Structure 1
Amino acid sequence: MTDHATQPQPPDLRPPALARALRAIGFAGPARAWREDVLAEYGQALSRWYLDAAKSNSQTGDWRRINATPDVVVASDARLARERAAYLVASTEYGHRAVESMVDATIGAGIRTQMAVRWSRDEATAVRMNNEAEDAKARWAEVAFLKPAMHLFDGQNLWLKSTMQDGQAFVYRRYIRNRKVRGLRGLRPAPALCYEVIPTSRLTDVMVHPVAGHEVVGGIEYDADGEAVAYHIADDGYNYKTYRLPAEHVLHNFRVDRPGQRQGITWLAPVVQSLFMLRDIVEYKLIQYKVQSALCVLVSQDTGPGIVPGLPTPLGQSQTAAAGAQRQFLQAGMIHNVGPGRVTAFQPSPSGDLDPLSRLCLRGIGVGFGLSYERLSGDYTQVSFAGGRLTENAFKDRVDVVHAWYCRGLERPLHQDWVDYAMAVGDIPAPPAKADPYAATFTRPRWRRGVNPVQEVQAAILAIDNGLSNHYQELAEAGYDATEVLEGASRIKGFARKDLQLAIAKALDLDPEPAAPAEPGADQ
C-alpha cells in the first residue's frame, strides 16, 4: 500500500485568501503586474500538482475496483442515454430544435451582470461605481473562456447546451501566467483568470488513483461522507492518461431528479425513444415517396436475354445477376426481371396522412422536454390568439425556472470568482468593512411582447399605477437594464423640454433666453 503522505499534495493557498492578502498592496504601477504574476504562479503550482498526481498508476497508487452499486448502474444508463441524445441533437432536426429553442430563450444574446453596489449614499457615486464595475467585467468577459477561446456569453450558451444534452456540465477554473490571446494586431495580454468547459465524455474511472478511503464512481471521487472531492479527467488525446482535478476548482452542475443522485441525466431522456421513432417514420415515408415517384417495373416473364428490346445495359453493370435475375436501369427507376413465378407485389402504403401523426409525436416530445408544439416544430399556422397567449405564458414560466437554476449554478460562482480576482489585481476597489462585496443581479433575455403587445404594456402600466409592480421589475422581466432605460428616458425628456421651449418662443416671436432687465438710469 502506498504511503499517501509522500504523494503530491495540493497547495494550501486558495484564490480568495490570496486576494485578501494582496488587497493591502497598491493598485497601480508595477504592483499590479506583480499581483498578476503571483496569481499566475498559483495557477502554475496547481497545474504542476495535477500533472504530478496523474503520474501514479495502478501499481503505485491506491487504486481499487468499484463494486457494482446502484450508482454504477445509473451512471451506465446515463452514459447510454447521453450518447443517444448527442446523436439526436446532432443529426435530427427536432432534437436540435428542442435544445436550441430552450437555450435561446434562456440565454438569449447573453446574460449580463447588473451591479447593485450601494456603498455610498450619494446616488451619482453609486451609479458611477456600478458602471465602472460592469465595464471591468465586460472587458474580462471578452476572454473569459479558453479551449476554444470565446466570450463569456458563448460560454454560457455552451454550458447550458451541454447540460441539456449530456445532463451535466463541468467548468474548470484556471489561472494562467502570462496568458495571451490572439487579436487583430497579434497576441495581447489577457487576465489570468479563465475557465474551460470540460466535455462530459472525458470523465473516466479507468486507471484512476483516489486517495485512501475514497471511491471513484463514474469518474468522480467521493470521500467517506459521499462528498465529491475530485474529478478524474482523461487527457484530450490519450485516454489512458488521466488528471485528478480537485472539486473546489470544478463547477459541476446538474439537475437533481432524485435523492442521492450523483450525476445528471440528459434532459432528452424522456423523449429519446419518441425522437428515434419519429425520425424512422419520416425517413421511411420519404423513401417510399421516392420509390413511388421513380419509374419502377417488375417483369416476371422470361423474355430472353433482354428485358425490354432496345434498352441497353448500363455501363459497368452485369445484365444477369447470380440468381439468374436480369437487371436494366432507367434514369428514374429500375426494371427488374425476377423470373417466372417469383414476382412480388409492393407493400401497400399506410393509410392516412403523415402530418397528423407527426403533430401527435411532436406534441408528446414537446411535453416531455418542456416545449410547446409550436416552439418545437416552428409551425404557427394553426395557433389561435388565445392559444398562442397561453402557450407563450406557460413557456415563459418554464424559462424563468431554468434561468434561475442556471444563474445559481454558474453565473453566481463565476461572478464571485471574478470579484475576488478583480479586487486582487486592482480592477475594482475593495469594499468597506461589513459591506456586501459587489452584489449583482443577472439579466433575463429580451422577452418580446409579441402576442398582444399593446394590452401587455397597458397591463404593466396599470400594475405600476396601482402599486402591484414598479418600473424596475417590469423592465427586468422584459430583459432590459432598468437603470439605462430610465436614464435614457430622463435625457430624452430633457431634450424634449428644451425643444418645446424653443418652439414656443419661436411661435410667440420671443427670444429663447429672455434679456436681462435694464439698469436703473440707463439710456432709453
Structure 2
Amino acid sequence: MVLLMLNRLRNLFSGTRSFDGASTGRRGTAFGRMPSQPKAQLASRFELAARARYIASNNAVAAAAVDAWVSALVGSGVKPQSKHKSVRIRGRLNLGFEAWTDRADADQLSDLYGLQVVMAKRTVIDGEAFCLFLNEGNDLTVRLLDPEQIASDMTRDLPEGGRIVSGIEFDSRGRRVAYHVRRETVTTTFQYKVDRIPASDICHMFRVDTPGQVRGITWFAPVLSRIAHLDTWIDAQLTKQAAAAMLVGVVTPGEHADKEWEGEALGDSLEPGTVKVAPVGSDGITFSNPPSVGMDAIEFGRIVEREIAAGMGLPAWQVTQDLSAANYGSQRGSLIEFRRRVEQLQHGMVVFMFLRPLWNRWVATEIMTGRIKGDQTELSAAKWITPKTAWIDPKKDAEAELLAIAGGIMSRREAVTSRGVDIEALDEEIAADNERAARLGLTFQTVAANNNQQPEAAEAA
C-alpha cells in the first residue's frame, strides 16, 4: 500500500512524460533549445543581422518582404494631429510641424517621412533602428545612426548598481539612461572613440518580443535558413535547365564518312543550340532531351515561399506577387488580420518609440525658442494619423462607413482619420471648394446614400 502511494505521488509531481515536446528520448533529439531568449538574442543578434542584410540585398523574395512591411508600417508617412483644446493653437502646431518636416533630416537627404521609411526598413532587416535628436541653434534635426554604431561589445557592471549591456547603459532601477555610440567618419568606417549620449537624445526603435529584451532582432530570424535553402534550390534548378538547353543534338557519322568530320569531334565547351559530332564509325543523329521543371517542383517552391511569408508575418501574395490562386474573400480575409498586426506595430512601436518622443522634443523646442507659448503637457497631446489603406472593394467599405456614421456607432472624425486625413484640414478644404464653386456658379451632382438612388429619386421620395 505504501509503495502504491509513493508511485502515485511520483507520477503526480513528475510531468516529464506529459508533454511530447519536453521528452528526452529519441523523438526529443529533433528539438533545439533556447533557455533564455534575451541572452540568445544578444548572442546571435550581430550574425543574424549580417545575414539578413545580405539576404535582403540579394534575394527577390526577401526584398519583397521588406518592401511590404515598410509600405504597411509607414507608407507615405505617419502624421500627428494636435489635440489641444484651442482651434487656433491646434492649427499653429499642425502647420508648424508640417513645415518643419522638410528640414528634419540633419543630413539633408530627405524629409521626416523619408526618415520614417529608413527607420522602418532598418527595423525589419537589422531588427532595430536608431536616430539622434540634435538641437542646433533654434531648430531640431534628426540624424540616423547605423545599428552597429552602438557599441555592442560594451557590457559591464557599473558602480551603484548600474550596468552597460550591449552598448546601452541602465541605472540601478533598470531604466535606460545613456547609449554608447561609436563616432562615424566621412568614409563610413567606425572609429574606436565612443561617446556617451543621454537616452533622451537617442531614439531606439525595435519590436519587443520578450521581457528583458535589450536590442532588437531581425524579423528574418525565423526564415533565414529557409530563404538560403530556397535560393540554393532555385540556383540548382536554373543551372540544370541551362546546362540541358545547351546541347541540341549529336551527329554520329558512319564508318565511311569523310575524314574531315574528325575535326568536329565532341569537345568540352557547350553553347546554346550546339550540335556536336561523334567520332567516325557511329551512325545517325541523336537529339537531347532536356529535363523539364515539373509541377511538383513548382508547387514545392510555392510551399516554401508561403512558409517564408508566414514566418515574416505577411500574406503570401504580398511576398510572391502571385495572385493566381487568390480571390476577393481570401485577399480580404488575409488583409484584415494583417492590418490588425500592422496597427499594433504602428502605434506600439513606430509611434511610441520614435514619433511620439520626436513630437515631444519638437514641441519642447518650439516652447524654448518662444515660437509658441503654453503648457507642454497640453501642447504635446496629439493623435497619430496613419496612411490611408485602400480596400479591394472601396465602394462596399464606403457604404459600410456611411451606415456606421448614420447609426451612431462611428464618428465622422474616426472615419476621416482612418483614411489618413486631418478632419479639420478636410473641412476647410471642402468649405473652400464649395465657396469657389458657388462664386463661379458651378453645380455638381452627388450620389445619394439612400439605397443607391439617384438624387432626383431621393428628392422625390
Asked if TM exceeds 0.5, the reply is yes
Indicate if the aligned counterparts of 1:208 and 1:232 stay in contact, CA closer than 8 A.
Answer: no
SS in 1 for 2:212: coil
Indicate if the aligned counterparts of 1:207 and 1:242 stay in contact, CA closer than 8 A.
Answer: no
Match of 2:20 in 1: none
Indicate if the aligned counterparts of 2:155 and 2:166 stay in contact, CA closer than 8 A.
Answer: no
Match of 2:378 in 1: 436
SS in 2 for 1:380: coil
Q: Return the offset for 1:269.
A: 1.0
Q: Which residue of 122, 131, 155 maps to 1:162?
A: 122
Distance 1:223 1:357, change over 3 A: same
Tell me the distance in 2 between the aligned counterparts of 1:222 and 1:133: 34
Tell me the distance in 2 between the aligned counterparts of 1:346 and 1:203: 57
Match of 2:363 in 1: 419
Tell me the distance in 1 between the aligned counterparts of 2:319 and 2:50: 21
Match of 1:201 in 2: 148
Tell me the distance in 2 between the aligned counterparts of 1:496 and 1:347: 69
Match of 2:135 in 1: 175
Tell me the distance in 2 between the aligned counterparts of 1:410 and 1:308: 75
Match of 2:29 in 1: none
Larger radius of gyration: 1
Q: Return the offset for 1:364.
A: 1.3
With CA pairs under 8 Å and 6+ residues apart, which has the higher RCO, 1 or 2?
Answer: 1
Q: Which residue of 53, 62, 67 maps to 1:86?
A: 53
Distance 1:389 1:457, change over 3 A: same
Q: Return the offset for 1:308.
A: 6.1
Distance 1:497 1:230, change over 3 A: closer
Q: Which residue of 63, 74, 77 maps to 1:110?
A: 77
Match of 2:201 in 1: 249
Q: Which residue of 86, 94, 105 maps to 1:134?
A: 94
Query: Partner letter of residue 378 of structure 2?
Result: D
Indicate if the aligned counterparts of 1:170 and 1:197 stay in contact, CA closer than 8 A.
Answer: yes
Query: Partner letter of residue 142 of structure 2?
Result: Y
Tell me the distance in 2 between the aligned counterparts of 1:136 and 1:152: 13
User: Aligned runs of 1:443-462 on 2, under 5 Å?
Assistant: 443-449=385-391, 451-462=392-403
Does 1:232 find its partner at 2:180? yes
Tell me the distance in 1 between the aligned counterparts of 2:49 and 2:81: 35
Distance 1:269 1:329, change over 3 A: closer
Distance 1:240 1:70, change over 3 A: farther
Does 1:371 find its partner at 2:314? yes
Distance 1:423 1:326, change over 3 A: same
Q: Return the offset for 1:225.
A: 3.7
Tell me the distance in 2 between the aligned counterparts of 1:203 and 1:413: 20
Query: Partner letter of residue 364 of structure 1?
Result: E
Does 1:467 find its partner at 2:408? yes
Q: Which residue of 89, 97, 100 maps to 2:67?
A: 100
User: Aligned runs of 1:102-501 on 2, under 5 Å?
Assistant: 102-119=69-86, 126=87, 128-147=88-107, 149-177=109-137, 192-206=139-153, 212=159, 214-236=162-184, 237-295=189-247, 309-311=262-264, 327-330=268-271, 351-405=294-348, 406-427=350-371, 429-431=372-374, 436-449=378-391, 451-494=392-435
Distance 1:333 1:439, change over 3 A: farther
Tell me the distance in 2 between the aligned counterparts of 1:334 and 1:204: 61
Distance 1:258 1:358, change over 3 A: same
Tell me the distance in 1 between the aligned counterparts of 2:250 and 2:49: 45
Ranges in structure 2 where 5+ consecutive residues have no aligned partner: 1-35, 279-287, 445-461
Q: Return the offset for 1:210.
A: 7.8
Indicate if the aligned counterparts of 1:92 and 1:279 stay in contact, CA closer than 8 A.
Answer: yes
Tell me the distance in 2 between the aligned counterparts of 1:82 and 1:118: 45
Indicate if the aligned counterparts of 1:143 and 1:149 stay in contact, CA closer than 8 A.
Answer: no
Q: Return the offset for 1:328.
A: 4.7
Query: Partner letter of residue 436 of structure 1?
Result: E
Alignment deviations for residues 264-295 of structure 1 (CA, whole Å, 9 cap, x no partner)? 11111111112112222222211221112212
Alignment deviations for residues 469-512 of structure 1 (CA, whole Å, 9 cap, x no partner)? 01111111122222222333334445556677999xxxxxxxxx
SS in 2 for 1:269: coil
The structure where helix makes up a greater share of residues is 2
Indicate if the aligned counterparts of 1:328 and 1:334 stay in contact, CA closer than 8 A.
Answer: no
Distance 1:461 1:307, change over 3 A: farther
Q: Return the offset for 1:170.
A: 1.4
Distance 1:251 1:333, change over 3 A: farther
Distance 1:402 1:470, change over 3 A: same
| Percent of pairs with identical residues | 24
Distance 1:307 1:279, change over 3 A: farther
What's the TM-score once normalised by structure 2's chain length?
A: 0.75
Tell me the distance in 1 between the aligned counterparts of 2:136 and 2:155: 26
Distance 1:285 1:70, change over 3 A: closer
Query: Partner letter of residue 195 of structure 1?
Result: V
Query: Partner letter of residue 170 of structure 1?
Result: F
Distance 1:473 1:349, change over 3 A: same
Tell me the distance in 1 between the aligned counterparts of 2:423 and 2:321: 32
Tell me the distance in 1 between the aligned counterparts of 2:260 and 2:176: 73
SS in 2 for 1:113: strand
Match of 2:3 in 1: none
Q: Return the offset for 1:459.
A: 0.7
Match of 1:33 in 2: none
Q: Which moved more, 1:482-491 or 1:96-105?
A: 482-491
Query: Partner letter of residue 316 of structure 2?
Result: Y
Q: Return the offset for 1:159.
A: 0.9
Tell me the distance in 2 between the aligned counterparts of 1:219 and 1:493: 57
Tell me the distance in 1 between the aligned counterparts of 2:183 and 2:388: 39
